[in-house]
């Protein structure tokens, strides 16, 4: 249930996980980066299980050494770490199991494969036979192997029978057996009714063939020829009347029906004709015939001589070969060595011969036949004479007939062949071996195959499961599933594919070599072991390689890096970026690179030309081309220099404009292309900025001018008012009412005057339309002067002023009249609004902590804070910020003297002089702090 939940979680998070993995990966390089190794799905189960403590330190160390733990791991708790180790171990175990399963499957299959072949000893050496058949027989005797072997044996035996008939008399090797050479040599094709032949003993012929035939070339004159060759020929005649059947050679057959006589078939016998001398090739008569004669004694002409010599030689050589076969077959089909029993009975005329390897207790054919049939489970009985064919094997009559027909010179029609295989397989022959192999293989083959199939199935299941889990780790902190990539997963995909291909080919190559070597080993049993071991090792290697590549690809696909890390994509994106860059900067690229390439080509060309001319020793041409080269390069250099110069001018222009010299214009003369465009752009930007600044300044000036002009226009009538009020006052008016009115007019007109002045001042300050005269001001001096100015005024209102300064001179940088204006306004403010009879505190404080916020001023000489404190006569019901706004006054009735601009002007002026103006109000305490930077001495 937990697993299911996890899976759901997993699929839900996989997208994020992948992204996370990728992000992390980009941040850092290695596997450590990608979270804590966790295996999803098992976590809960693992934690639920008791920590059995079986996790040994050694294992852990081995694990950590192998896997390379992230530093994060160390922070996690011990139990968590053990759980994770366990999971990791489990993963390793599963992977190992996977390898082992494949290994087992392959070993089983190899065993099955190897068992499916039997190696049997035949007369031609060891041979392989496959036991695999479409319809797997249950019994060995029904298998192809058995029948093939039996067929081979039948062929052997029929051949052996033919040879035996040539070599033996009464089933025993007869060295003194007479051989009719001409009949023997022509046994395949038959012999004419009358032929010249010689009879030799069998052993003489075999020895002659083993020793070799020596010929002698010599010239013989007529007499010598006559002396050498016989005058008559000895002819053997077959009496056909006594022979029924086809005219075929059966040497033993011939004797009874042939007659031998000397025939004088020519005139030589009469000695009438002399023979011609001739070059003759004479066969050395190593052996003599049965009668003690030589070849030349049977013939009367050279043709007959040579024919007979050839027949002798052929018969001797054939017999020699057959003799060796005979020895081999006799050994092979000895009943002690072979499970095959046979009996061949042939009747030539009245003579019946029996060839058999069954124990010859009896010579009675029927008894022998019975004995053989008793011993043998499987047999073939062939009786062409009676048209009988019996067998319980798969060998067909046609097969046997075909074999027998190959030796028809040896087998007359009246022939019976019985071949059987002994049921008990007493001899260790090929049948025994084949049967052994068959019995080893057939009953178990399905078990093996089923086992292998189960292993493979399990392997595939594990593959699917591990594929699903591969690379996924659960982050400790967030619990989300992320994909963890290993270092090998960063190798470009194609290289991985290539490596996999190389691995495949390498393994294939080595394996084929090894198998080839093993295959040709003589020792069959060690070959099987070697094959199995090789297959196991190869499987292990293949499995490891496969896991390595396969899981890497799985992780890539999950992490989405299969395509992203591929060389094709990288190259593609590189090319794409290049193309995009080229398209975006076509003009630039063309403009820079084409001329550069041209220049290089021109240089190369002219340089080569000059070098060539130098080689040709034509100094003039070389010099001229060098000069041309210098000229061209110089021109290019000049163009580059001019371009650089233009760029420099533009840069300087930009710098000037940035520094505030807005009227600066880059000189566009002599500029071309981009430089000209750039210069024009810079100029136009400069113009725009200047226009904007000028407009804005003009607006400000207009505003200030407007206020100034308005105030002028106010002042003129105001002058008249003030003057005439004054004149009225001088008229010595007795009426008190009038005097009172005039007084009001006087005060108000004076106030109007003050107001207009302040208005102009304030507007000028706030529009920045003032020019400051910077000088070094002693703040203490200034305060003394101010206090002096105000002493009587303060006395008027019984304000007692307390001034405290740290030392007699505190210098700041300010405009003398403006700073006075600030202080004056502050003091006026106190004079107007302070509660009568209170003390006014004026304090100067030095502070080393200068404006640390402003860089570059860090090591300045510090600051001075001037604070002016007084007790307000009226309750302060207003914000400090509002107080410095224009026309704001503490008393809302606005009846007191003042324009309401005093603090605003003071504040603006202070700030214009790089000071800070701050109003603090605490109950009735009204405090103004001015902060200025101290000047350096």
Partner 1 sequence: MNTVGHLNPPPADPMEDYTMTNILVCDDDKEIVDAIEIYLNQEGYQVFKAYDGEQAIKVLKEQNIHLLVIDIMMPKLDGIHATLKIREYSSIPIIFLSAKSEDTDKILGLNIGADDYVTKPFNPLELVARVKSNLRRYTQLGNLNVENNALFTAGGLCINDDTKEVTVDGESVKLTPIEYNILLLLVKNQGKVFSIDQIYENIWNEEAIGADNTVAVHIRHIREKIEINPKEPRYLKVVWGVGYKIEKQP
Closer residue to partner 1, CB minimum distance, 144 or 816:
816
Rounded Cα distance between 607 and 595, Å, is 17
Question: Binder to partner 1 among 722, 772, 876, 888 (CB under 8 A)?
Answer: 722
- 715 contacts partner 1 (rule: CB under 8 A): yes
Name the minimum Å distance from CB 688 to partner 1: 31
700 membership: H or E segment, kind and range? helix 673-730
Rounded Cα distance between 223 and 216, Å, is 18
Summarize the chain as % helix, strand, coil (round to 5). 60, 15, 25
Question: Binder to partner 1 among 194, 775, 892, 911 (CB under 8 A)?
Answer: 775
Name the minimum Å distance from CB 804 to partner 1: 10
Which one, of 157, 548, 139, lies nearest residue 328 by Cα? Answer: 157
Rounded Cα distance between 781 and 808, Å, is 8
Helices 736-766 and 673-730 cross at an angle (nearest 10°) of: 170
Closer residue to partner 1, CB minimum distance, 420 or 902:
902
Name the minimum Å distance from CB 761 to partner 1: 10
479: left (phi over 0), alpha (psi -120 to 50) or beta: left
Q: Hey, what are 3's tokens?
A: 């697993």
Question: Binder to partner 1 among 814, 868, 903, 919 (CB under 8 A)?
Answer: 814
898: left (phi over 0), alpha (psi -120 to 50) or beta: left
Q: Hey, what are 701's tokens?
A: 């000036």
- 743 contacts partner 1 (rule: CB under 8 A): no
- 934 contacts partner 1 (rule: CB under 8 A): no
Kindly tell me the burial class for residue 784, based on how many C-beta atoms sit within 10 Å of its own C-beta (0-12, 13-18, 19 or more). middle
Tell me, rounded to whole angstroms, the distance of Cα 372 from its chain centroid. 70
Question: Binder to partner 1 among 554, 819, 866, 901 (CB under 8 A)?
Answer: 819
- Going by the DSSP 8-state scheme, the letter that residue 872 receives in this structure is B
- Going by the DSSP 8-state scheme, the letter that residue 231 receives in this structure is S
- 719 contacts partner 1 (rule: CB under 8 A): yes
Asked if 919 contacts 868 with a C-beta cutoff of 8 angstroms, the reply is no
Contacts of 397 (CB under 8 A, 6+ apart): 382, 389
- The angle formed by the CA atoms of residues 701, 705 and 710, to the nearest 5 degrees, is 155
Strand partners, 614: none
Closer residue to partner 1, CB minimum distance, 563 or 724:
724
Q: By CB under 8 A, which span of 211-219, 257-265, 300-308, 778-786 interacts with partner 1?
A: 778-786
- 772 contacts partner 1 (rule: CB under 8 A): no
922 membership: H or E segment, kind and range? strand 916-922
Q: By CB under 8 A, which span of 76-84, 263-271, 628-636, 817-825 interacts with partner 1?
A: 817-825
Rounded Cα distance between 850 and 845, Å, is 13
Closer residue to partner 1, CB minimum distance, 120 or 901:
901
- 816 contacts partner 1 (rule: CB under 8 A): yes
Closer residue to partner 1, CB minimum distance, 370 or 712:
712
- 718 contacts partner 1 (rule: CB under 8 A): yes
Strands 278-283 and 340-348: unpaired
Closer residue to partner 1, CB minimum distance, 616 or 775:
775
Closer residue to partner 1, CB minimum distance, 741 or 820:
820
- 909 contacts partner 1 (rule: CB under 8 A): no
- 788 contacts partner 1 (rule: CB under 8 A): yes
Closer residue to partner 1, CB minimum distance, 115 or 711:
711
Which one, of 827, 841, 835, 801, lies nearest residue 898 by Cα? Answer: 827
Rounded Cα distance between 447 and 292, Å, is 73
Q: By CB under 8 A, which span of 201-209, 375-383, 814-822, 914-922 interacts with partner 1?
A: 814-822
Name the minimum Å distance from CB 766 to partner 1: 16
Rounded Cα distance between 482 and 21, Å, is 6
Asked if 378 contacts 141 with a C-beta cutoff of 8 angstroms, the reply is yes
Beta strands in 313-386 (DSSP E): 340-348, 351-356, 376-383
SS3 category, 927: strand
Q: By CB under 8 A, which span of 218-226, 242-250, 691-699, 705-713 interacts with partner 1?
A: 705-713
Name the minimum Å distance from CB 834 to partner 1: 18
Strand partners, 219: 279
- 661 contacts partner 1 (rule: CB under 8 A): no
- 774 contacts partner 1 (rule: CB under 8 A): no
Name the minimum Å distance from CB 912 to partner 1: 16
- Going by the DSSP 8-state scheme, the letter that residue 141 receives in this structure is G
- 557 contacts partner 1 (rule: CB under 8 A): no
CB half-sphere exposure, 15, CA atoms < 13 A: 1
- 716 contacts partner 1 (rule: CB under 8 A): yes
Q: For the segment 744-763, give every residue that binds partner 1 (CB under 8 A).
A: 749, 753, 757, 760
- 376 contacts partner 1 (rule: CB under 8 A): no
Q: Backbone phi, then psi, for 152, in 5-degree steps? A: -60, -40
Size of the site for partner 1 (CB under 8 A): 43
Name the minimum Å distance from CB 763 to partner 1: 12
- 720 contacts partner 1 (rule: CB under 8 A): yes
Strand partners, 352: 347
- 905 contacts partner 1 (rule: CB under 8 A): no
Rounded Cα distance between 615 and 611, Å, is 6
- 858 contacts partner 1 (rule: CB under 8 A): no
Q: By CB under 8 A, which span of 26-34, 593-601, 771-779, 926-934 interacts with partner 1?
A: 771-779
Name the minimum Å distance from CB 846 to partner 1: 16
- 700 contacts partner 1 (rule: CB under 8 A): no
Closer residue to partner 1, CB minimum distance, 562 or 901:
901
* DSSP output for 582-601: HHHTHHHHHHHHHHHHHHHH
552 membership: H or E segment, kind and range? helix 524-559
867 membership: H or E segment, kind and range? strand 863-871
- 826 contacts partner 1 (rule: CB under 8 A): no
Name the minimum Å distance from CB 902 to partner 1: 16
Question: Binder to partner 1 among 327, 600, 644, 727 (CB under 8 A)?
Answer: 727
Rounded Cα distance between 542 and 560, Å, is 26
- 504 contacts partner 1 (rule: CB under 8 A): no
Closer residue to partner 1, CB minimum distance, 760 or 871:
760
Q: Hey, what are 882's tokens?
A: 């509002």
Name the minimum Å distance from CB 649 to partner 1: 39
Q: For the segment 6-25, give every residue that binds partner 1 (CB under 8 A).
A: none
- 789 contacts partner 1 (rule: CB under 8 A): yes
- 791 contacts partner 1 (rule: CB under 8 A): yes
Question: Binder to partner 1 among 374, 712, 748, 839 (CB under 8 A)?
Answer: 712
Contacts of 800 (CB under 8 A, 6+ apart): 794, 838, 839, 840
- 703 contacts partner 1 (rule: CB under 8 A): no
Q: By CB under 8 A, which span of 99-107, 160-168, 784-792, 883-891 interacts with partner 1?
A: 784-792
Name the minimum Å distance from CB 887 to partner 1: 20
Q: By CB under 8 A, which span of 145-153, 473-481, 514-522, 713-721 interacts with partner 1?
A: 713-721
Strands 215-220 and 125-130: unpaired
Name the minimum Å distance from CB 733 to partner 1: 16
Question: Binder to partner 1 among 784, 797, 832, 927 (CB under 8 A)?
Answer: 784
**Which residue ranges make up the site for partner 1 (CB under 8 A)?**
708, 711-713, 715-724, 726-727, 749, 753, 757, 760, 775-779, 781-782, 784-789, 791-792, 803, 805, 808, 814, 816-817, 819-820
């Amino acid at each position: 249930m937990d697993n299911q939940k996890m899976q759901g979680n997993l699929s839900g998070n996989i997208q994020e996980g992948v992204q996370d993995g990728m992000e992390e990966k980009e941040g850092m390089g290695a596997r450590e980066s990608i979270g804590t190794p966790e295996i999803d799905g098992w976590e809960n189960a693992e934690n639920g299980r008791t920590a059995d403590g079986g996790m040994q330190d050694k294992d852990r160390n081995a694990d950590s050494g192998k896997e390379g733990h992230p530093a994060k791991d160390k922070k996690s708790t011990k139990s968590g770490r053990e759980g994770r180790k366990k999971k990791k171990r489990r993963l390793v175990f599963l992977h190992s199991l996977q390898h082992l399963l494949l290994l087992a499957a392959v070993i089983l299959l190899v065993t099955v494969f190897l068992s499916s072949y039997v190696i049997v000893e035949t007369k031609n050496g060891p041979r392989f036979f496959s036991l695999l058949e479409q319809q797997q027989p249950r019994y060995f005797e029904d298998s192809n192997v058995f029948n093939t072997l039996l067929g081979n044996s039948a062929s052997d035996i029929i051949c052996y029978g033919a040879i035996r008939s040539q070599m033996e008399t009464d089933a025993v090797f007869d060295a003194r057996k007479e051989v009719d050479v001409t009949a023997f040599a022509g046994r395949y094709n038959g012999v004419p009714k009358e032929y010249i032949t010689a009879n030799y003993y069998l052993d003489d012929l075999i020895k002659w063939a083993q020793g070799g035939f020596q010929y002698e070339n010599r010239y013989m004159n007529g007499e010598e020829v006559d002396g050498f060759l016989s005058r008559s020929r000895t002819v053997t005649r077959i009496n056909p009347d006594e022979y029924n059947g086809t005219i075929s050679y059966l040497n033993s057959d011939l004797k009874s029906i042939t007659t031998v006589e000397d025939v004088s078939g020519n005139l030589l016998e009469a000695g009438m004709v002399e023979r011609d001398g001739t070059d003759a090739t004479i066969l050395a008569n190593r052996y003599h015939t049965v009668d003690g004669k030589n070849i030349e004694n049977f013939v009367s002409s050279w043709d007959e001589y040579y024919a007979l010599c050839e027949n002798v030689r052929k018969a001797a050589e054939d017999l020699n070969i057959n003799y060796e076969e005979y020895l081999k077959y006799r050994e092979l089909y000895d009943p002690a060595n072979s499970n095959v029993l046979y009996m061949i009975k042939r009747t030539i005329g009245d003579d019946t011969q029996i060839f058999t390897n069954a124990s010859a207790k009896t010579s009675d054919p029927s008894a022998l036949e019975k004995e053989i049939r008793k011993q043998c489970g499987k047999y073939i009985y062939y009786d062409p004479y009676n048209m009988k064919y019996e067998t319980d094997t798969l060998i067909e009559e046609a097969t046997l007939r075909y074999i027998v027909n190959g030796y028809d010179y040896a087998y007359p029609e009246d022939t019976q062949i019985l071949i059987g295989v002994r049921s008990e397989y007493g001899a260790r022959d090929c049948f025994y071996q084949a049967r052994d192999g068959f019995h080893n293989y057939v009953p178990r083959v399905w078990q093996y195959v089923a086992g292998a199939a189960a292993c493979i199935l399990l392997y595939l299941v594990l593959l699917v499961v591990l594929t699903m889990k591969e690379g996924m780790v659960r982050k400790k902190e967030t619990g989300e599933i992320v994909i963890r990539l290993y270092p090998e997963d960063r190798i470009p995909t194609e290289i991985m594919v290539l490596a996999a291909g190389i691995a495949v080919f390498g393994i294939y190559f080595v394996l084929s070599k090894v198998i080839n070597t093993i295959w040709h080993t003589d020792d069959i049993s060690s070959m099987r072991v070697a094959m199995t071991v090789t297959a196991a090792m190869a499987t292990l290697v293949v499995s490891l390689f496969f896991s390595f590549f396969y899981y890497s690809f799985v992780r890539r696909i999950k992490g989405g890096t299969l395509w992203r890390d591929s060389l094709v994509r990288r190259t593609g994106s590189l090319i794409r970026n290049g193309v995009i860059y080229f398209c975006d900067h076509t003009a630039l690229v063309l403009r820079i690179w084409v001329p550069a390439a041209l220049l290089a080509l021109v240089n190369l060309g002219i340089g080569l030309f000059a070098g060539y001319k130098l080689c040709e020793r034509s100094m003039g041409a070389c010099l001229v081309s060098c000069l041309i080269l210098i000229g061209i390069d110089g021109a290019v250099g000049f163009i580059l220099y001019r371009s650089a110069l233009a760029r420099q001018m533009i840069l300087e222009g930009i710098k000037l404009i940035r520094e505030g010299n807005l009227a600066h214009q880059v000189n566009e003369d002599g500029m071309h292309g981009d430089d000209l465009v750039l210069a024009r752009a810079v100029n136009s930007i400069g113009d725009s900025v200047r226009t904007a600044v000028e407009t804005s300044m003009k607006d400000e000036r207009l505003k200030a001018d407007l206020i100034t002009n308005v105030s002028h226009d106010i002042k003129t009538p105001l002058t008249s008012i003030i003057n005439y009020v004054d004149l009225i006052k001088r008229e010595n008016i007795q009426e008190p009412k009038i005097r009172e009115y005039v007084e009001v007019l006087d005060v108000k007109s004076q106030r109007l005057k003050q107001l207009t002045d302040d208005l102009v001042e304030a507007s000028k300050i706030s529009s920045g339309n003032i020019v400051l005269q910077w000088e070094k001001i002693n703040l203490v001096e200034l305060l003394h002067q101010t206090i002096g100015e105000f002493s009587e005024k303060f006395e008027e209102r019984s304000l007692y002023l307390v001034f405290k300064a740290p030392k007699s001179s505190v210098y700041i940088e300010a405009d003398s009249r403006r700073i006075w204006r600030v202080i004056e306004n502050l003091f006026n403010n106190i004079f107007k609004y302070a509660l009568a009879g209170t003390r006014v505190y004026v304090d100067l404080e030095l502070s080393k902590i200068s404006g640390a916020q402003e860089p570059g001023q860090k090591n300045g000489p510090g600051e001075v804070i001037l604070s002016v404190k007084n007790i307000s006569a009226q309750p302060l019901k207003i914000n400090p910020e509002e107080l410095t706004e224009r026309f704001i006054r503490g008393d809302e009735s606005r009846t007191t003297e003042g324009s309401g601009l005093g603090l605003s002007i003071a504040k603006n002026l202070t700030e214009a002089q790089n000071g800070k103006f701050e109003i603090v109000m605490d109950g009735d305490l009204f405090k103004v702090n001015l902060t200025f930077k101290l000047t350096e001495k």
